[in-house]
């Protein structure tokens, strides 16, 4: 009987007899209630009944309405109904009454008679599909797709509680369909869903930002965010990928502006050029002598607990990144001691999750488009006009004058013929790259595995410029009893090919009135410019067979073991091994324009063409052993770690250059006829070792008062025998105000934490043997049959660690469950700066290593994020974020040798070549910033004669530029920089926008100077040259006399404020998981995305950017599927 089924449906199988008893009681009360129903009007029915026999209800309606019901008693007598209406029409009352019954009614004419009959068959069908008992299953995962184990599922109105298993799966038997079920997990937002057979994968969202960093991974060990006192920032892989999929660095720079990528004006967006990065401020002095092994301010990179190279991170498969943590202050980074001075970037890759075998695949097509908006080149008519105005076609010698007139007519004819070659576009392309990533994982509690393979081809905007990375990794985990092991094996292979088109500056300087091809369509090899110089067509060299590429292969093997020896006591051991092989090839044939000048009779004729190879090998072995101990006594909680680690790294390289490659098809080094004269095979070797003992203690009382202590003793082979060991310490204090009662009472405060820390760290980007005197055998000659040794370097046994003292105070505030604020103020002093010092040659050497100077970085950072709107029902949300960073750098002490560098620099300005003289130089003065711009103050151009008026130091005016009048006229470092953006989600669609900005920094517009005032009129110029330069007395102009060919030296006139707003990223993605199409393909999820990077740049300064390699805009279309 269907009616029986209906009746049962109301009750849940597990209802106890007690519940039934309650129901009976209700019926009794209802009957009482019915008796009180009044009968004011027949048309307005008021009725309240629950689970009462329908015949009883009908009787009541008859009484109130005066209608008569006709029905077969046998058909309806078993039915019980519930109804609750007030002053409604009889139709409405009946509808309500019969709603859940297999009955229908019909008012017969105006007879006040109503018939009640069973509904037709189809109506019964509908009835069957009404709520009934089902089994519910689902899977609970976090935002990055990892299963949440132990999430709580409750069913509304029922005493049922279920926990997810180790795969994140749960299963509830036999509940009513569409009952509300609730899923909760600590730190995540409670999720309400209506029950259905298969809920699929349920993604839990983080509750709010303050609980986001539940655990902070410092790379060595984990710390509870709530009790940690360090200044850190953690980003999930998904957050980073929402900014860009290009590389980790660009994404980090947007999300946390304290992580800065130094703009490389010269090499722009060259994919084969590793970016230079600074975390907070520059700790070292610029490497004027170019002897650092790496950039002096490079942070330390830790990948899955092991130190790694910038290159590895640059080429890292972004899909495999689970999270990135920036460690900024002493409390956070001191555990890395000697290497952490420049900050630490901790990267964790995705770990295999247990569960059934899963396949994820992602792919993207990446388009790079050249951004030439900063270029403002003259067209052919403008260029010719500039040449005329510059007096280039005038000569006092009649014969030369004749030639010049001829040249002018040739050029003029070209202009009139409409020749206006756009050289800039010649070597450029819209590069199309692609990425693919496949990840397979699965396993159970005991054994888990993950296998990934990635292919990434980046195609640059210069034709032929490419970077291809193939990586693979195998991750294996094994856990038994109190032991667990993890092994991660990775292989990366990278090929970087540079464009055969050479430097972009060779194209931007070409005159627009030169044709590329002659009348027969052949490439013109060279041109003669107005100064008489022969200028080669750069496209000619690009048409030849050349080779400029490098490759590397890296194998990384990391092993982790963990043994829980006793309750609260854990022992960990790790071994990491990295092997790297790299090689580079540079080939240029005899046909190259470099060799045009060499005649067939010259002895060098046969030596044309060259091939250089370089081979390098490096390996690193790191091992550490650690103990972790934690206990809680009443309100005291202590985490203690002790770690001992040793490490050795070796690097070696060889290289040679052969010459004599007559034909460009002979593109192998073995074709060469001999070594480059005067050269031989070269080689270098570097081994360094370090060991350290780290201890860290984290204490919290009542989760209110927090303290962190750490000490690390570090020994390194890179430092002088007398100063080999260094001690690094940190102390951090915190106060969780939000755990105090008086704050708890303020309901809108979710978090209020004060932090302060101080401590020291060191930096070491230095070559291995800088502190010891070394000998090398001279193998070129013997002396009377004996071999001799020669000193290679001057020892400095007192060379010691460069120390950085960090002080930080910070504040974490969460309000209304919506707003999260994080603010830090820091003061960081670098002492004993390591630098190469120039020596008097009477010491026998040019330089040696010394600890010199002190610098200070001072600044703050504020990050605000807010959840403006969030609706579970429509699956929509809007989040915004904004951040600001300020850093001020100051040189506090300069050594004599640094002062001498200043003199040297000034001397360059006085006596250097024209190219050197027109650029401001780096100077080290106490109280000034390292990035200060030094120039002579300018009062502008004298309208009377077109000469520049300078302001001397004593305040007087002069036309003469003097190196002694240089003052600080700006600072390259922005006063404030930061980012802001939003994240909007509506159902499956999500949109991310990110902007970055900088305010209050200056730039010396050297490209403008060189293409405008210092322009060599033999080459193309900036179009502003014509409009802007002084021509006649009385003219007010920004730029000096057009006929004045003297070099413009550093002047404040070209110092410009660089306020800049960059539309860094727009990312949209659509989650297709809910579409039927996806289900049909057997996928568990599918999403498609579009990312555009570096879309637009609004800047007050129009300076050419990307001189040797242009900047690019990036568009990436991606697809991600899980099976």
Partner 1 sequence: MKKIKYLFAFLLVISMSSCEKWLSVKPKAQIDSEDNFKTEQGFKDALTGVYLNLSSTQLYGMDMTWGFVDVLAKQYTEYSSSQNNTYSRLMDWNYTTPEGVEKIRSIWKGMYYSIANLNNIIDNIDKSGSGIFSGTNYNVIKGECLGLRAFHHFDLLRLFAPSPSAAGGLTAPGIPYREHLDNYSAEKFTIAQDLEKIVLDLKSAATLLETADPIKNTQISSTDYLRDRKFKFNYYAVQSLLARVYLYAGDYEKALEHSKIVINDSEAGKFPVTPIAQVINGNRIFSTEVIFYINMTNLNTLVNENFVPSANTNVAMSKSNALMRNVFDVQNNAANSSDYRYQYWTIANSSTSAKGTITKLYQELNTNLDAVNRLPLVRLSEMYYIAAESCLKIAGKRLEADTYLNKARANRGLAPLSTNLSTVQFQDEIFKEYRKEFLAEGQLFYYYKRLNLPNIITTTNFPAGPAVYNLPFPDDEIEYGNVK
Positions that interact with partner 1 (CB under 8 A) = 565, 571, 625, 644, 646, 652, 683-691, 693, 715-717, 721, 724, 768-769, 772-778, 781-784, 786-792, 794-796, 837-846, 848, 850, 897, 900, 903-904
Nearer to partner 1, 534 or 907 (CB): 907
Element (H, E) at 96: helix 90-98
Nearer to partner 1, 399 or 784 (CB): 784
Element (H, E) at 74: helix 73-76
Q: How far apart are CA 225 and CA 230, in angstroms?
A: 9
Q: Are 706 and 696 in contact (CB under 8 A)?
A: no
Q: Are 1102 and 374 in contact (CB under 8 A)?
A: yes
Q: How far apart are CA 1018 and CA 1026, in angstroms?
A: 15
Smallest separation, CB 608 to partner 1 (Å): 19
Smallest separation, CB 682 to partner 1 (Å): 10
Nearer to partner 1, 773 or 1045 (CB): 773
Element (H, E) at 648: strand 636-659
- List the 191-194 sheet strands across, edge first: 161-163, 152-155, 180-184, 191-194
Taking CA atoms, 704 is separated from 211, 396, 398, 803, 933, in Å, by 16, 87, 92, 32, 47
Smallest separation, CB 911 to partner 1 (Å): 10
Q: Residue 860's CB: how many other CB atoms inside 10 A? A: 18
Q: How far apart are CA 55 and CA 57, in angstroms?
A: 5
Q: Are 663 and 544 in contact (CB under 8 A)?
A: no
Element (H, E) at 239: helix 237-243
Smallest separation, CB 1047 to partner 1 (Å): 20
Q: Are 868 and 208 in contact (CB under 8 A)?
A: no
Smallest separation, CB 307 to partner 1 (Å): 17
Smallest separation, CB 297 to partner 1 (Å): 25
Nearer to partner 1, 40 or 964 (CB): 964
Q: Are 496 and 465 in contact (CB under 8 A)?
A: no
Q: Spell 458-474 as b/e; 16+ CB within 10 A means b.
A: bbbbbbbbbbbbbbbbb
Smallest separation, CB 854 to partner 1 (Å): 20
Nearer to partner 1, 309 or 837 (CB): 837
Q: Are 298 and 766 in contact (CB under 8 A)?
A: no
Sign of CA dihedral 239, 241, 242, 247: positive
Smallest separation, CB 774 to partner 1 (Å): 4
Nearer to partner 1, 824 or 832 (CB): 832
Strands 198-203 and 133-141: parallel
Torsion of CA 935, 941, 947, 953, to 10 degrees: -40
Residue reference for tokens 């009959």: 117
Closest CA to 831 of 899, 761, 924, 930: 761
Smallest separation, CB 899 to partner 1 (Å): 11
Taking CA atoms, 1114 is separated from 274, 438, 800, 837, 942, in Å, by 17, 23, 44, 43, 45
Smallest separation, CB 566 to partner 1 (Å): 8
Nearer to partner 1, 894 or 1107 (CB): 894
Nearer to partner 1, 546 or 716 (CB): 716
Nearer to partner 1, 369 or 625 (CB): 625
Q: How far apart are CA 53 and CA 314, in angstroms?
A: 76
Q: How far apart are CA 787 and CA 829, in angstroms?
A: 48
Smallest separation, CB 1094 to partner 1 (Å): 44
Smallest separation, CB 602 to partner 1 (Å): 12
Contacts of 156 (CB under 8 A, 6+ apart): 179, 180, 181, 182
Nearer to partner 1, 773 or 967 (CB): 773
Coil, strand or helix: which one is 1084? coil
Smallest separation, CB 775 to partner 1 (Å): 4
Nearer to partner 1, 599 or 841 (CB): 841
Nearer to partner 1, 915 or 945 (CB): 915
Please state the separation of Cα 55 from the chain's center in Å.
72
Nearer to partner 1, 73 or 777 (CB): 777
Q: Are 152 and 204 in contact (CB under 8 A)?
A: no
Nearer to partner 1, 1 or 840 (CB): 840
Identify the burial level of 933 via C-beta atoms within 10 angstroms of its C-beta, where 0-12 means exposed, 13-18 middle and 19 or more buried.
buried
Strands 180-184 and 938-941: unpaired
Nearer to partner 1, 432 or 721 (CB): 721
Tokens (6 digits) for 571: 């022992």
Smallest separation, CB 215 to partner 1 (Å): 27
Nearer to partner 1, 776 or 1079 (CB): 776
Beta bridge partner(s), residue 223 = 216
Closest CA to 248 of 363, 349, 365, 351: 349
Smallest separation, CB 839 to partner 1 (Å): 6
Nearer to partner 1, 446 or 778 (CB): 778
Please state the separation of Cα 224 from the chain's center in Å.
24
Smallest separation, CB 677 to partner 1 (Å): 14
Phi, psi of 459 (to 5 degrees): -115, 120
Smallest separation, CB 171 to partner 1 (Å): 41
Contacts of 227 (CB under 8 A, 6+ apart): 637, 698, 700, 703, 706, 734, 736
Smallest separation, CB 908 to partner 1 (Å): 12
Closest CA to 869 of 813, 817, 812: 817
CA atoms within 13 A on the CB side of 119: 17
Nearer to partner 1, 532 or 788 (CB): 788
């Amino acid at each position: 009987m269907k009616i029986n089924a209906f009746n049962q449906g109301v009750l849940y199988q597990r209802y106890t007899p007690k519940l039934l008893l309650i129901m009976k009681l209700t019926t009794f009360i209802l009957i009482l209630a019915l008796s009180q129903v009044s009968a004011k009007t027949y048309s307005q029915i008021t009725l309240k009944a629950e689970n009462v026999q329908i015949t009883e209800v009908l009787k009541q309606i008859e009484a109130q309405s005066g209608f008569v019901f006709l029905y077969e008693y046998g058909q309806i007598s078993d039915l019980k109904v519930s109804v609750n209406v007030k002053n409604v029409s009889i139709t409405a009352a009946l509808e309500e009454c019969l709603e859940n019954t297999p009955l229908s009614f019909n008012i017969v004419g105006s007879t006040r008679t109503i018939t009640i009959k069973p509904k037709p068959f189809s109506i019964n069908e509908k009835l069957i599909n009404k709520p009934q008992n089902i089994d519910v299953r689902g899977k609970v995962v976090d935002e990055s797709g990892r299963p949440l184990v132990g999430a709580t599922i409750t069913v509304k109105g029922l005493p049922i509680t279920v926990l997810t298993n180790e795969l994140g799966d749960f299963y509830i038997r036999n509940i009513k369909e569409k009952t509300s079920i609730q899923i909760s997990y600590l730190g995540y937002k409670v999720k309400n869903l209506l029950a259905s057979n298969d809920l699929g994968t349920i993604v839990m969202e983080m509750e709010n930002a303050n609980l986001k960093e539940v655990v902070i991974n410092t790379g060595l060990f984990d710390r509870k965010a709530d009790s940690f006192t360090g200044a850190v920032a953690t980003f999930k892989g998904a957050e980073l990928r929402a900014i860009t999929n290009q590389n980790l660095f660009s994404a980090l720079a947007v999300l946390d502006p304290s992580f800065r990528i130094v703009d490389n004006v010269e090499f722009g967006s060259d994919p084969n050029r590793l970016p230079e990065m600074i975390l907070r401020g520059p700790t070292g002095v610029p490497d004027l002598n170019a002897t650092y092994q790496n950039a002096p301010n490079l942070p330390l990179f830790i990948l899955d607990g092991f130190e790694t190279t910038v290159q590895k991170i640059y080429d890292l498969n972004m899909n495999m990144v689970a999270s990135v943590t920036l460690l900024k202050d002493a409390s956070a980074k001191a555990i890395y001691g000697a290497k952490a001075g420049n900050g630490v970037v901790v990267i964790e890759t995705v770990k295999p999750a247990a569960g059934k075998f899963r396949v994820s695949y992602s792919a993207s097509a990446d388009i790079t488009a050249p951004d030439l908006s900063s270029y403002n080149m003259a067209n052919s008519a403008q260029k010719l006009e500039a040449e005329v105005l510059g007096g280039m076609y005038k000569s006092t010698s009649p014969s030369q004058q004749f030639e010049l007139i001829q040249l002018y007519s040739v050029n003029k004819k070209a202009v009139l013929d409409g020749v206006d070659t756009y050289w800039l576009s010649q070597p450029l392309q819209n590069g199309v790259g692609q990425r693919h990533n496949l990840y397979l994982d699965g396993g159970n509690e005991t054994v888990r595995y993950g296998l990934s393979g990635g292919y990434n081809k980046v195609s640059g905007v210069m034709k032929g410029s490419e970077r291809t990375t193939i990586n693979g990794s195998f991750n294996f985990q094994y856990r038994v009893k109190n032991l667990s092991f993890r092994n991660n094996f990775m292989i990366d292979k990278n090929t970087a090919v540079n464009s055969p088109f050479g430097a972009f500056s060779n194209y931007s300087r070409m005159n627009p009135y030169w044709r590329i091809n002659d009348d027969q369509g052949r490439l013109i090899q060279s041109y003669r410019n107005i100064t008489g110089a022969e200028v080669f067509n750069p496209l000619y060299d690009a048409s030849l067979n050349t080779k400029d590429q490098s490759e590397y292969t890296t194998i990384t093997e990391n092993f982790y073991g963990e043994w829980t020896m006793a309750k609260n006591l854990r022992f960990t051991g790790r071994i990491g091994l990295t092997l790297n092989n790299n090689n580079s090839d540079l080939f240029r044939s005899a046909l190259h324009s470099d060799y045009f000048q060499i005649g067939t009779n010259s002895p060098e004729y046969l030596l044309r063409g060259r091939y250089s190879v370089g081979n390098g090998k490096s390996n690193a072995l790191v091992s550490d052993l650690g103990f972790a101990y934690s206990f809680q006594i009443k309100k005291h909680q202590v985490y203690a770690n002790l770690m001992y680690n040793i490490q050795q790294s070796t690097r070696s390289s060889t290289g040679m250059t052969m010459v004599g490659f007559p034909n460009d098809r002979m593109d192998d080094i073995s074709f060469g006829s001999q070594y480059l004269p005067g050269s031989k095979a070269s080689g270098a070797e570097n081994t360094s070792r370090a060991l350290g003992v780290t201890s860290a203690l984290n204490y919290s009382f009542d989760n209110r008062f927090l303290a962190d202590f750490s000490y690390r003793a570090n020994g390194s082979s890179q430092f002088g025998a007398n100063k080999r060991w260094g001690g690094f310490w940190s102390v951090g204090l915190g106060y969780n105000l939000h755990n105090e009662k008086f704050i708890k009472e303020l309901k809108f405060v979710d978090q209020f934490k004060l932090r302060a820390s101080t401590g020291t760290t060191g930096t070491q980007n230095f070559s291995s043997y800088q502190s010891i005197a070394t000998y090398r055998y001279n193998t070129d000659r013997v002396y009377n049959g004996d071999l001799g040794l020669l000193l290679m370097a001057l020892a400095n046994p007192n060379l010691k660690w460069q120390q950085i003292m960090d002080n930080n105070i910070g504040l974490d505030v969460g309000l209304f469950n919506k707003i999260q604020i994080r603010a830090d103020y820091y003061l960081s002093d670098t002492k004993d700066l390591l630098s190469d010092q120039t020596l008097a040659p009477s010491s026998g050497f040019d330089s040696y290593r010394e600890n010199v100077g002190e610098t200070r970085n001072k600044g703050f950072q504020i990050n605000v994020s807010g959840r403006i709107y969030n609706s579970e029902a429509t699956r929509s949300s809007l989040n915004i974020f904004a951040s600001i960073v300020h850093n001020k750098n100051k040189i506090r002490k300069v050594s004599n040798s640094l002062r001498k560098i200043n003199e040297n620099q000034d001397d360059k300005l006085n006596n250097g070549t024209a190219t050197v003289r027109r650029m401001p130089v780096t100077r080290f003065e106490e109280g000034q910033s390292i990035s200060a711009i030094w120039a002579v103050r300018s009062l502008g151009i004298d309208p009377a004669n077109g000469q520049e008026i300078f302001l001397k130091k004593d305040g007087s005016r002069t036309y003469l530029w003097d190196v002694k009048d240089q003052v600080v006229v700006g600072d390259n470092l922005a006063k404030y920089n930061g980012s802001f953006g939003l994240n909007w989600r509506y159902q499956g669609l999500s949109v991310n926008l990110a902007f970055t900005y900088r305010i209050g920094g200056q730039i010396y517009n050297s490209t403008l100077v060189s293409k405008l005032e210092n322009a060599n009129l033999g080459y193309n110029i900036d179009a502003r040259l014509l409009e802007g330069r002084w021509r006649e007395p009385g003219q007010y102009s920004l730029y000096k006399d057009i006929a004045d060919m003297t070099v413009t030296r550093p002047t404040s006139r070209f110092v410009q404020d660089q306020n800049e707003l960059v539309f860094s990223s727009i990312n949209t993605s659509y989650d297709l998981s809910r579409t039927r199409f996806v289900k049909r393909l057997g996928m568990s999820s599918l999403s498609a995305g579009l990312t555009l990077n570096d879309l637009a740049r609004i800047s007050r300064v129009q300076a050419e950017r990307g001189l040797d390699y242009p900047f690019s805009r990036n568009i990436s279309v991606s697809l991600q599927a899980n099976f």
